[in-house]
Structure 1
Amino acid sequence: MSDEINDEDLAEGLERKKISGKKIVLFIVLPALLLLGGGSLALMLLGGEDGNDAAAGEEQAALAAAKANEPTELLFLDLDPMLVNLNTAGGKPSYLKLTISLEVDKQSSLEDLQQKLPRIIDNFQVYLRELRVEDLNGSAGMFRLKEELLIRVNEAVYPTRVHDVLFKEILING
């Protein structure tokens, strides 16, 4: 008999826990409609697909302009070898010998670099003298050196643009 009572109690409990249609509408359908309406409104206010089409058109125009400005010929300016003593904080002197080529894409840029060569070498010398041997260790050190020299040369010759700094020789004595 105790089994019958448990089954009857279970049946009554299930009937009480049924969700009415009003509750479904109130807690599920209504919030879903609000989310869809809010999303549609936000999409319309932020530009929607028309805004994406305009942005895509601008991006394609920028890519076409960049393609038109691609270097047609590569020219290189070889700098004389530089020998600098590195910062050793009073320890045993260390030296860096560096031979560099600068890559540009126009003859006019090459001529501008040759005119501004004293400024370029000065910027390089000032930077290189502050380096320590530890700064030049490994490929990461060489990459940082290359990036720093590229930044400095582009600042020195602005508005001309150097595309790359190429190492022809790197010797560290220390």
Structure 2
Amino acid sequence: MSDAETVAVKKKGKGLIIGLVLALIAGGGGFFAVYSGLILGHGDAAPEAAEEASIAELPEVAFVPVDRIVLPVGPGNSGRFLHFAAQIEVPKAHEQEALHFLPRVTDVLNTYLRALEPEDLSEKTALIRLRAQMLRRVQIVLGEGRARDLLITEFVIN
């Protein structure tokens, strides 16, 4: 290797090392700026402001408990029972209406659950599908915009 080639290789190596050191310094500085809130943040006031905003934005809801339903599962006297309990999330303004129609809600859920086959309950995604079906039925009974969600609090087959 000639002297000119050796000098060229040494200059190339120095440039690579300098570039790597500068990249590490820039990365560390960027991390510090983001972590300390200088960039993409609002300093120490951000968590408090975000907490106050999230509290103010929470909707006014009420949870109306649905009577517990116990149904036989399977053919004949298999001795297996489904224990079901839920709560309906409703806007606070419609809580009394939901309570008034609670017997109808219980009836429609009881009728739907009795029509299920044991195979419908044993699938992995059964609870998700059943919850969606039951919520739709509850929304029909209570009227549009009155039932926000159906929260299943007990779903046990023994």
TM-score with structure 1 setting the length: 0.53
The structure-2 alpha-carbon separation of the partners of 1:158 and 1:97, relative to structure 1 and needing over 3 Å to count, comes to same
Structure 1 segments (4+ residues) deviating >3 Å:
none
**Deviation for aligned residue 1:170:** 1.2
Mapped to 2, the partners of 1:93 and 1:124 lie a distance apart of 21
Q: Which protein has the bigger strand share?
A: 2
Partner of 1:151: 136
SS in 2 for 1:80: strand
Where do residues 48-127 of structure 1 align in structure 2 (5 Å cutoff)?
A: 72-86=59-73, 88-90=74-76, 92-105=78-91, 107-127=92-112
Partner of 2:122: 137
Mapped to 2, the partners of 1:154 and 1:132 lie a distance apart of 23
1:144 partner letter = R
Mapped to 2, the partners of 1:142 and 1:81 lie a distance apart of 17
| CA displacement 1:126-152 (0-9 Å, x = unmatched) | 110011222122441000110011011
CA contact (8 A) 2:67 2:106 kept: no
| CA displacement 1:51-94 (0-9 Å, x = unmatched) | xxxxxxxxxxxxxxxxxxx87212111122111123x3447253
Partner of 2:30: none
Mapped to 2, the partners of 1:81 and 1:157 lie a distance apart of 19
Unaligned runs of 5+ in 2: 1-56
Mapped to 1, the partners of 2:126 and 2:144 lie a distance apart of 28
Q: Which protein has the bigger helix share?
A: 1
Unaligned runs of 5+ in 1: 1-69
Which structure is larger by alpha-carbon Rg, 1 or 2? 1
Identity of aligned residues (%): 29
With 139-148 and 77-86 compared, the bigger mean Cα shift is at 77-86
Q: How many residues align?
A: 102
CA contact (8 A) 1:146 1:165 kept: yes
